[in-house]
Structure 1
Amino acid sequence: MGDTRNEPPGKPGINPTWSSSAKDMVSTALGASRLWATFGYGIVNEVYWPSTGQPQIRDLGFIIAGPDGWTEVKRAQRYSISMPKPYVPLPRVVHRGDNYRLELEYLVHPLRDALLIRYKLDGDDLKLYSLISPHLNGERHDNTAWAGEDLSAQLGYAALCLRNDSGFSRASAGYVGFSDGWQDFDKNGKMTWTYPEAGEGNVALMGELAANSGTLALCFAETVEGARTLARSSLADDYDDVVRIFTGQWEDWGRTLDIPHASPEIKHEAQLSAAVIKIHEDRTYAGAMVASLSVPWGSSHDDLGGYHLVWTRDAVEAAFAMIAVGQLTDAARTLAYLVGTQAEDGSWAQNYFPDGQGYWEGKQLDEVALPVLLMAKLRAVGHLTIARPIETMVEKAVGFMVRNGPMTDQDRWEENSGASPFTLTATICALVAAADLMAPEERDYVLSLADCWNERIEDWTYTTGGPLCAPHGVDGYYVRIAPRSDQKGLRGVVEIRNVGGEETAAADLVGLEFLTLVRSGLRAADDPGILNTVKIIDAVLRRETPSGPSYHRYNGDGYGEHADGSPYDGKGIGRLWPLLTGERGHFAISADGDARPYLDAMSRMTGPGGLLPEQIWDSDPIPERGLWPGKPSGSAMPLIWAHAEFLKLLAAQADGRPSEALAVVEQRYGGKRPTAAQWHWRENSPFDALPAGRALLIERGAPFILRYRLADGAQPREKPSAPTQLGMHGVLFAPADLPAGATLSFSFADDASEGGDLTIALG
């Protein structure tokens, strides 16, 4: 006799979590549907609705029960997954046990906000049970669930309904960890509880399917009534017709892919990578690209943000990849979306929900430069008509870079401020790329600034005689990042936040950021400084795995699982990043023309469905945690940046040059450090010596009076600043005004806090 008490015990339930980020596959339809589904361990994980930024359930799985006991299929982990084609995301999963075979097909309805699940259970005297954990609106303890003819839940303006075409023999609602369906089986060995409602908590629902074959519909709407309407309508649709519409739309898109010639394995991964990026595009906010439809180490915590947020950097990297495989319209939509999310000061939020609402509050200069580079690339391939909104975006972005560069508040790993080779490269290239869209005076100014910053990259980021020189037989190398000059620059220290805020000398840390100097055309592949640093990263950061070579972000990184494989929790051990395998492969093309070992390696670093993760495991196997050398860790999977890097590397291998490279940058610099006609002195990027024959522009972001003298004992002179361009003000000295061998001493007369004269040795 089942337990028919009205109130399930255990309210409000244990603290909720998300699902593991180790996904098998992701899917969406290309029609009107606003639903994105993810799958892991052979079951449904987070489902996002009505945009890619809003997960609504933790998971939807199955229990199989019979005379010999019961099995939760996600825990058994005995399954296979396949799709009709790599660019048709219709996952078919087969779970196998000693006495059962469960076949599942997951179909996102192209015309309704619905996920259809066709199921078929084979085995003697078996029953199938579905379990779903609502997590509506990302909230923790406020869901209410009802169990009856269908399984439903609501929180605010989000509701779901899970309905079976043959109905449920019985159903129950409970609180996770106390009275949910899994606890019922764990305690009683079968389904005994039939609670009709669980209110305002971390709830779960279970239903016994009335038949061992049929179709489930999981639907979302603003109300339970609306979700029920969608569920009933979806089950009334002819399933085969829905499949034909779904696959037809993806087939039409897939035929437009321009994949370079490659081995069958690489071509398969490339087609899948393009589809994964396409799947991550929002429809309510067309062009929005979240970094991943997952929450890293999600099964251990309940982070509202996760990776289902837009990072401008990741979105632009994905758009570059779309250009590389011929999807120009898709890339242009992302650019238009970024126009819509730009702040009035010209920047973009560190990350944000698809509707543009900011989440974290950092400012990253590369995320301001990259949309300008995307504009320039679309223009270069003939798929951009410069309209006023585009011009405005570029003007605002360039203004922000001019006023705030060259130092960034955060590097591309979102950890430190200062001079990053990656950020400097993006900023310089963006200024050059935008110059011809500007008025003549502004154009000349931004090119002067770009030349000055380009010439000074090594002053800020290249150390000679650093601690890594002698062990590796080099005389210098590029650092991962150098602090600002007021924090001693290359002689300063860098805080490694993900190991508890430990500080390390900047010269001790290397990363792959410098490789973008070659990829962009600012430095040549055979530049001695580049070769020195390649030698160091190959010795310090590279690891050989069963999948092939990969790289750590930097030595001492702590963003990854602990040594025992337990999840990252603010501390850990940094693991290997497949996207960095791609970055090293790009250098291989520049150096010797062959990136095939890196492409092959990336294609083997995937999960069961071919998805590329953020990180792969680099230690001994830990089978009980699903960690195997060279295979995905518990970090975000898929990561669209990793899939984008794979596609761009394949395109670069075919073309012999980086797919995102801009001719205007290559022609201006030709891989060589320039000799800038004018140096720009700023308080965030000062210098104490000026080469002979250069003009000097002392700048600030507001009007000032410069007090200066050119000889010891001379009477100080004063000169008011004049507006330069884009909100800056400066005092200009022509080369003839600066006698070689002299010293310019100066201060700001209107700055009461000025502590003494600054000096620049001339010539």
Structure 2
Amino acid sequence: MDEQSLTAGLTEVADHAPGKPGIPPTWSGGRKNAVGCSLGPSRLWFTLGRGIINEVYYPRVDLPQIRDLGFIVADGAGFWVEVKRLNAYTISQPEPGIPAYTLEHRHSRFTLTLRISPDAQRDVLLIECRLQGDKALRPFVLLAPRLGGTGYDNHAATAHYRGRRVLWAEQGPFGLALAAVDAHQHDAIQEASAGFVGSSDGWQDFNRNGSMRWRYQQAGPGNVALTGGLPRHSVLALGFASSRESAATVALSALPRDFGSPWQQQIDDWRNWHSDCGLRCALDLGLPNALHDELKISAMVLRTHQDQIFTGAMIASLSIPWGETRNKRGGYHLVWPRDLVESAGALLVLGADDKAREILRYLIATQLEDGHWYQNQWLGGKPFWQGTQLDEIAFPVLLAAELAARGALDGIEVGDMVCRALMFIAHNGPATDQDRWEENAGVNTFTLAICIAALVSGADFLDDPDRETALAIADFWNSRIESWTAVYNTALARQHGVNGYYIRTAPPKVIMDEEALSEQLPIKNRLQDPGLSAAEQISTDFLQLVRFGLRRADDPLVTDSVRVIDALLRVETPNGPAWYRYNGDGYGEHRDGSAFDGTGHGRPWPLLTGERGHYELLAGNDPLPYLGAMAAMTGLGGMLPEQVWDSEPVPKHRLYPGRATGSAMPLVWAHAEFIKLAYSRAAGHPVDRIDTVWRRYAGRRPKVDLAVWSPGAPVESMLLGESLCLCLPQPATIRFQIGNTGTTGTLHTTQAGLGMHRTTLPVEGLATGESIHFTIETDEVDGALQGNHRINIVSRALHG
């Protein structure tokens, strides 16, 4: 069939659509209006964006099966409009936090109203479609399958199944079907066609002909789409199963009842869920109504991101950042131990202890033999990225401690998990291969805070000598935070009138000398690295030290660091303040608004507004303005974005100051932070602060009398009067020479806790300026232990 025949204005009927295989497939954009699922046995999750249905997931929360389902309104005489491009719509819910949605698209000639709810008992999404206005107009549905999570190799067809017209598709072990009925329960799909995207799909038909002229019975394999004409009022059922016939069966079985029945069941089920959570008391939090509404929406977002098959697993976001530019799903449909525990903490304060327990069980099941977790993984535990982030090894220990403190472990045995996790931290810390932003190696204040808190809180689950070793390492690392991560009297400090500040990441070799500080640490996601030294890179990460009680909010170094990040990272948006992750960040749109493509320019994160609100609370200020700023940065449906735009408007890319960029939306972690800040404000302290950590440190810098040398922390200086403990991962013989006297000796390590072997060197009587030299001999070759080591004695007065 040639181009001329396609555009001749006549109806074209054929068995196979032309244009195989279609243009390269993409997903819908990352900015979602809303997300939802049923609380029944249904294994289906849905997203809304630009006023239509976007990705629908089945049978797991990480597996999208369509790109989108949208609508065209046309009169058959040349007038037509695709409602998502009209961009004149509202979205509403029966109550905040109930994922049953009404979308209303308005045009001078019509109003198209869509009500959307899942079927609680089936893997079916129901859509009530009602068109009002000009009687010459009708709606047409556009459906883009992405079965198996890809736009390649899909097969689409129009068919009659059991006497009903359906649109269906199939790829591998998955099938979908779209059926519809009118107000009288009659077949509602009238005209129908299958085509290849970009050449013979329904949108191209309207674009070329001004009406639906093509009738192709099947298309595939390739990037396919389906189109169907509808009456002015209909109910559509989009079903999923293991074949197209099975999908048609579940879709048709959902239709023989009034739409109001599943709609009301969705409302009742979610209303009861909120009631069972602590939100029934949320009015006691003293929040304005708008923030209380956002609290319920945030609770719903967390619950919606939980999987039905792998109980306890949650993904980072039901969105694909900048999805309209790519076919890959990206890293947000994965389980991240950090995001998972941050979400569990929010579920705990909501009163959903059972869900937090399931998260802990999932984490115990997916812990690796050596004690760590993968950087991220698919729901079933298969790794995706395999970097090592020490905070992600520490976070599950904190969850166990939080549940234990609430008396909510419910018989879960956590001792083995905790011991193996802390052993990994002790053997590999304090430097991490990656910080919490998946990037730099080195010593990071956020990671340190989480690890120290895990060592202290996890010690309660251990017996000596494991417990003693965990606490000794925690105290030592806490005492050295400033030595490892703070700088003083730099050009940046003088520029901002401060004595010093915490840096983003110290080089992996934890020696803060001039050479190390001038070393340029790479900044990822940049087309051209700005070439910042370690001393010039700053972040908001140090605020976690205050949040967990390792430092006071009014500590001079903390307040100086706050001054620096406010000067370099804070952005005043029309909706309130937000902060960049760090200076030089490249994860975000390019300056012209084009999508992130591996490089870009980082944008402010509402999540960090919440973290700053926690700091302000501890500084004695009301964090309500920070809650208000976060809520103001949400979209029409209350979803919190990962990032907001910080430059002049770019309408071409739908970018406006203080509003969502094309990054992930919603970001589950951001909603968890909003919930925790709301409850922290009422409690007067961070609700995720670990009591055992607070009681041990209470914001005070600990003064310890024991320096701990380990392969992960090969300290080159110790304070006058401290004892020196060598803590090694294997048995060893130590040969040493002490001070100016040149006294030599030999010691053998003894077994200590957490799989470590230790000995204490005789450094009593050494004066400032003297040193101790030692070598380590082991049965195994270990590069970190080889060579001659030297530790200098320094004055306590010089210690930062």
Q: Which amino acid aligns with 2:268?
A: G
Equivalent residue, structure 1, for 2:241: 221
Which digits, 9 at most, give the CA deviation of each residue in 1:328-369, with x for residues without a partner? 222222222222222222111111122222111111111111
Q: 1:138 is matched with which residue: 149, 154, 157?
A: 149
Matching residue within 655, 668, 686 for 1:627: 655
Shift, 1:703, TM fit: 2.8
What is the CA deviation profile of residues 512-551 of structure 1, one whole-angstrom value per residue up to 9, with x for unaligned ones? 1000100000000110100000011111111111101111
CA distance in 1 between counterparts of 2:35 and 2:572 reads 29
Cα distance, 1:736 vs structure 2: 4.1
> Per the alignment, do residues 270 and 306 of structure 1 end up closer, same or farther by CA in structure 2, a change over 3 Å counting?
same
CA distance in 1, matches of 2:587, 2:366: 29
Kindly report the root-mean-square deviation, in angstroms, between the aligned alpha carbons of the 2 structures. 1.8
Cα offset, 1:441, TM superposition: 1.0
Q: Which amino acid aligns with 1:212?
A: R
1:410 to 409, 430, 434: 434
Any idea what SS the aligned residue of 1:174 has? strand
Alpha-carbon distance change, 181 to 436 in structure 1, aligned in 2, over 3 angstroms:
same
Q: Deviations over 1:172-214 (max 9, x none)?
A: 11111111111111111111111111121111111112x2111
Q: Does the 8 A contact of 1:575 with 1:617 survive in 2?
A: yes
1:737 to partner: Cα distance: 8.1
Q: 1:421 aligns with which of 438, 442, 445?
A: 445
CA separation of 1:463 and 1:566: change in aligned 2, threshold 3 A: same
* Distance apart, 1:553 and its partner CA: 0.7
Letter in 2 for 1:438: L
Partner of 2:95: 85
Q: Aligned equivalents of 2:479 and 2:557: distance in 1?
A: 14
Stretch deviating more after TM superposition (705-714 or 421-430): 705-714
Amino acid corresponding to residue 129 of structure 2 in structure 1? Y
Q: Do the aligned partners of residues 190 and 517 (structure 1) sit closer, same or farther apart at CA in structure 2, a change above 3 Å counting?
A: same
Residue 199 of structure 2, aligned match among 178, 183, 195: 178
Kept in 1: contact 2:155–2:219 (CA 8 A): yes
Q: Please give the alpha-carbon distance, in whole angstroms, between the structure 2 residues aligned to 1:221 and 1:411.
A: 40
Q: Is the 8 A contact 1:694 1:734 kept in 2?
A: no
* Counterpart for residue 50 of structure 1: 59
Which residue identity does 2:564 align to in structure 1?
Answer: I
CA distance in 1, matches of 2:639, 2:214: 38
Looking at structure 2, the residues matched to 363 and 544 of structure 1 have their Cα atoms a distance apart, in angstroms, of 34
Query: CA shift at 1:164, angstroms?
Result: 1.0
1: CA distance, partners of 2:438 / 2:786: 33
Q: Secondary structure at the residue paired with 2:715? A: coil
**Corresponding position: 1:106 with 2:116:** yes
Distance (Å, rounded) in 2 between the aligned partners of 1:603 and 1:494: 35
Q: CA deviation at 1:68?
A: 5.1
Question: Aligned equivalents of 1:486 and 1:501: distance in 2?
Answer: 27
Q: Distance in 2 between matches of 1:15 and 1:706?
A: 63
2:51 pairs with 1:23: no
* Alignment of structure 1 residues 637-648 onto 2, 5 Å: 637-648=665-676
* Closer, same or farther: CA 489–335 of 1 in aligned 2, 3 Å: farther
Q: Is the 8 A contact 1:498 1:570 kept in 2?
A: yes
Would you say the 8 A contact 1:461–1:478 is kept in 2?
yes
Farther-moved stretch of structure 1 (112-121 vs 587-596):
587-596
For 2:344 and 2:412, how far apart are their aligned partners in 1? 19
Number of residue equivalences: 761
TM-score after normalising by structure 2 = 0.92
- For 1:422, what is the secondary structure of its paired residue? helix
Q: Which residue of 2 aligns with 1:293?
A: 318
Q: For residues 695-738 of structure 1, what are the alpha-carbon distances to aligned partners after superposition, in whole Å with 9 as ceiling and x for unaligned? A: 21223323332221114574743333333222222332256486
Consecutive unaligned residues of structure 1, counting only runs of 5 or more, are none
What's the offset of the Cα at 1:404?
A: 1.3
Q: Among 337, 346, 354, which residue is 2:362 paired with?
A: 337
Name the SS of the counterpart of 2:84 in structure 1: helix
CA gap of 1:500–1:315, structure 2 versus 1, over 3 A, is same
SS at match of 1:610: coil
Mapped to 2, the partners of 1:508 and 1:696 lie a distance apart of 32
Report matched runs for 1:529-544 at 5 Å.
529-544=557-572
CA contact (8 A) 1:690 1:760 kept: yes
Aligned pairs for 1:41-440 (under 5 A) are 41-66=50-75, 67=77, 69-122=79-132, 123-148=134-159, 149-165=165-181, 166-209=187-230, 211-256=231-276, 257=279, 258-259=281-282, 260-388=285-413, 390-440=414-464
Shift of 1:324: 2.1
SS of the residue 1:120 aligns to: strand
* 1:607 corresponds to: 635
Matched residue, 2:466: 442
After superposition, the C-alpha distances for 1:482-510 in whole angstroms (9 at most, x for unaligned) are: 11117965443221111036242011111
TM-score by length of 1: 0.97
Residue among 470, 473, 486 paired with 2:497 = 473
* Residues 752 and 237 of structure 1, relative CA distance in 2, 3 Å threshold: closer
Deviations 1:600-623 (A, max 9, x none): 111100111111100001101112
- Worse-superposed segment, 114-123 or 61-70: 61-70
Relative to structure 1, the CA distance from residue 597 to residue 752 in structure 2 (aligned partners, 3 Å threshold; closer, same or farther) is closer
Asked if the contact 1:585/1:599 (under 8 Å) is kept, the reply is yes
Separation (CA, whole Å) in 2 of partners of 1:572 and 1:739: 52
Contact 1:2/1:194 (8 A) holds in 2 = yes
Measure, in 1, the Cα distance between the counterparts of 2:440 and 2:29.
28
Flag structure 2 segments of 5+ consecutive residues without an equivalent: 1-9, 160-164, 182-186, 795-800
1:580 is aligned, of 602, 608, 620, to 608
Range that drifts further, 525-534 or 280-289: 280-289
What SS does the aligned partner of 1:493 have? coil
- 1:4 alignment partner in structure 2: 13
**TM superposition shift of 1:752:** 9.3
Cα distance in 2 for residues equivalent to 1:468 and 1:602: 30
Distance 2:242 2:252 in 1: 16
CA drift of 1:169 comes to 1.4
Q: In the alignment, residue 173 of structure 1 is paired with which amino acid?
A: A
Q: Partner of 1:13: helix, strand, or coil?
A: coil
CA distance in 2, matches of 1:755, 1:326: 52
- For the 8 Å contact 1:63–1:128, the answer to whether it is kept is yes
Counterparts of 2:782 and 2:419 in 1: how far apart (Å)?
Answer: 33
Q: 2:727 aligns with which of 699, 707, 716?
A: 699
Report how far residue 216 of structure 1 moved.
Answer: 0.4
Structure-1 residue corresponding to 2:526: 499
User: Helix, strand or coil: the match of 1:144?
Assistant: strand
Percent of paired sites with the same residue: 44
Distance in 2 (CA, whole Å) between partners of 1:739 and 1:420 is 31
* C-alpha spacing 1:339/1:136, structure 2 compared with 1 (3 Å): same
Residue 512 (str. 1) matches residue 540 (str. 2): yes
1:88/1:663 CA distance change after superposition, 3 Å: same
The residue matched to 1:498 in structure 2 has which SS?
coil
Q: Letter of the aligned partner of 1:246 in structure 2?
A: Q
Find the residue that maps to 1:162 and give its secondary structure: strand
Using the TM superposition, name which of 450-459 and 323-332 deviates more: 323-332
SS at match of 2:255: helix
Q: 1:401 to 1:214 in 2, by over 3 A?
A: same
Q: Distance in 2 between matches of 1:684 and 1:342?
A: 22
**Letter of the structure 2 residue corresponding to residue 541 of structure 1:** L
